[in-house]
Structure 1
Amino acid sequence: MKFIIKSAFTPIQRDLMLYMIALTAVSYQLILYINFEKINLDLSLYRNSFIFGLISTFFLSSIFMYLYLIIKKERRPLKIYLGYSIIPIKHWNESLNFILLSVAVSIIFSVYTSVKYSIPDIVPFYLDPYLIEFDNFLFFGTPPWKITHYIFSTPIATGFINFLYNIWFFIIWIFLISFMCCVKHSQIRKQVILSFLLCWIINGNLAALLFSSAGPCFYSLAYGVEGPYTELMAILNQQNSFLLEQGSVFSVWALSLQDLLWQSYVNRVDGIGKGISALPSMHVSMTCLIAISIYSLNKKWGILAWIYALLIIIGSIHLAWHYAADGIVAILLTLTIWFSVKKLTTRKD
């Protein structure tokens, strides 16, 4: 009995720092909940999504694994497949820890979304005019979106950029699950997951509160004035109409999502994916983290990951989600977190 209990707690003890991060996030939200009436305290916001995601990932990966064995022309694919299938049962303590860690991550996502949704109530949007000035300063008086739309001027280019921007959700899910399962490489695993969680808390909540901003697509609506992004929004709408008329597989999906987010903000409807916050960009932060993590393991794949990160930075500006400054700050904060965690985990190990 003692051996079973000790065996069960071994992986949990290894990942204790990750669980402490989740506890810190909950404490942080509780403090905000006590001090601000409009903060919603719902730690189960992502529970069903995580359960669905884990089950879907398990079944899809099982199907792909079996197909891979058939394509490789293994003589006994079913036997090899069943051998892989019993690994979660054989290493039940790691499976238990994986489930508990998934719960901890879903709690952090719930905290992130709840706080992000309430940012304008805690710190009203104020930084956008300064971010516009900073962008113009960086690009010598030229709004950066004009540069991206000059280079990627066609509707199909915008639609493709939007596609890359949208699949970000699936990429970070695969990234997270892969490293959660990568228990044989404990050092890099701990560094990646710890950095991942801290990015959502520090960049997604703390920095977003400090630098409360709405973003280009919401500028006119948030400040009640004619903003400098009217032309950009008109271009995006024109390109979207063209793509829809042509029956393209791509469209500017960002426009409908932006409308949905603004309506949820106006009508005070919270939920998964809700909330408005520009600086720092979590799309850029996560793709930067993915790129530096993969590059540390494999330079060739890492270069591809950095190319994708660059396209996400371009997309964040091109689709009116973010200012250029949002991406720059996100990269600086993410790299700071990454190297700080590396120093911390290396010293401890």
Structure 2
Amino acid sequence: MSIAQLAVRSSSEAWRANQPFFVTVIAYVLIALIAAAYWKIVIDVELYNKNFLFFGSVVTLILVVVVIGRLIIERPQQPLHALKDVMLANNLLDRITVGLPVAFILPIFFSMFTSIKGGISKIQPFYADAAMAEIDRAIHGGLDAWRFFQPLLGFGPLTSFLSVLYNLWFAEVFIVLFCVVFSTRDERLRSQFLVTFVLAWVLLGNVLATVFASVGPAFVMPIYGDSTFSPQMDYLQTTNLSYPVFALGTQSYLLANSGIDGPRLGSGISAFPSVHVATAMLNAIYLWRYGGVLRWGSVVFLIAIQLGSVHLGWHYAVDGYASIVAIPAIWIVAGWFSRSQPHPET
């Protein structure tokens, strides 16, 4: 088979395996570009290129080290033949064929998402925080959610630990994402996850975040001049003197960038609903089928992210509750959209 024929075959296979994902991302990008032009939102499609390149390089290096280490330990008589066997046994070529195009598109998608998120206030001025706080009080016996959970969580070491876990969300989300991107065992499940992943960020992180534009407890004072959550922020600041609360630095970064026109890495302020909780919920749904540590670890992580999002001032509790309810519904829709992809047994 010639190189040209191999390229055509690989392209066809990549399109077939990723069609629902590609269609979803392309539709989003087109709509986002139209919205950006209408509301004069600055778009930077190269925002995450270097980060994804670095992450991909690290993952590739780890895989190379693992394979070489395995060959060194086993010491096969024909190393190149053994390397070929390892590649074939792990469907490496198929994984690269279907996964690499998705990996190339993801930084563009996230760049578009961050650009639109940063422009939410141009589309809809922030207004919904008072309503979200009232809903929280209605759910939690008349108390703000952070006060409701404070007897359980209000200890310096635990606050610091939750802050660390909240930062580790990035690692958990993207490790699972890249494992799925380069998986080949169940194309329908893979497609369902990827489409749900995109729709979660788009529908929750852009659409609903704009409709219910809110900033979250940490930003109520600097943006509205409302001191309702100042006691919570005072607790976090005081705790930070003895135990590091990393959320405070990130919140300062977001607040500083909110006054700059144009996206920055991880920039954009929005509270309802919580994308952190949404993606943790998606991973819990996906990993549930594997049982054991993966199942229960993902559930514990979901609970920790939900509690941390409230305790650290990022979100109202209802932000996470809404995401926990929304993701299974999006998962079902994504499953319908991915129905043409084959199951392993077919």
Deviations 1:10-59 (A, max 9, x none): 1222211211112112111111122112x112222111111111011111
Query: How far did 1:196 drift?
Result: 0.9
**2:114 aligned with 1:113:** yes
State how far apart, in whole Å, the 2-side matches of 1:217 and 1:169 are: 20
What does 1:23-38 correspond to in 2, within 5 Å? 23-37=26-40
TM-score (norm 1): 0.89
TM-score (norm 2): 0.90
User: How many residues are aligned here?
Assistant: 338
**2:124 aligned with 1:123:** yes
SS of residue paired to 2:251 = helix
**2:205 aligned with 1:204:** yes
TM-aligned CA distance change 1:55 to 1:274, over 3 Å? same
Q: Is the 8 A contact 1:11 1:93 kept in 2?
A: no
TM-aligned CA distance change 1:151 to 1:183, over 3 Å? same
Deviations 1:137-167 (A, max 9, x none): 0011122112322112221111101111101
Q: Is the 8 A contact 2:118 2:262 kept in 1?
A: no
Match of 1:221 in 2: 222
Q: What value does the CA root-mean-square deviation take over the aligned residues? A: 2.5
Q: Is the 8 A contact 1:66 1:81 kept in 2?
A: no
**2:224 aligned with 1:231:** no
State how far apart, in whole Å, the 2-side matches of 1:259 and 1:24 are: 34
SS of residue paired to 2:242 = helix
Which letter does structure 1 place at the counterpart of 2:50? N
**2:335 aligned with 1:342:** yes
**2:7 aligned with 1:14:** no
Match of 1:332 in 2: 325
What does 1:138-153 correspond to in 2, within 5 Å? 138-153=139-154
Deviations 1:232-256 (A, max 9, x none): 000000100012xxxxxxx101001
Match of 1:161 in 2: 162
Percent sequence identity over aligned pairs: 26
Match of 2:182 in 1: 181
- 1:54 aligned to which of 56, 67, 73: 56
**2:318 aligned with 1:317:** no
State how far apart, in whole Å, the 1-side matches of 2:176 and 2:311 are: 25
Q: Is the 8 A contact 2:188 2:340 kept in 1?
A: no
Which letter does structure 1 place at the counterpart of 2:231? E
State how far apart, in whole Å, the 2-side matches of 1:98 and 1:269 are: 30
Q: Is the 8 A contact 1:127 1:212 kept in 2?
A: yes
Query: How far did 1:91 drift?
Result: 5.4
Structure 2, unmatched stretches of 5+, are none
Which letter does structure 2 place at the counterpart of 1:6? R
Q: Is the 8 A contact 1:283 1:312 kept in 2?
A: yes
State how far apart, in whole Å, the 2-side matches of 1:77 and 1:17 are: 44
SS of residue paired to 1:322 = coil
Deviates more, 1:79-88 or 1:28-37: 79-88
Q: Is the 8 A contact 2:133 2:316 kept in 1?
A: yes
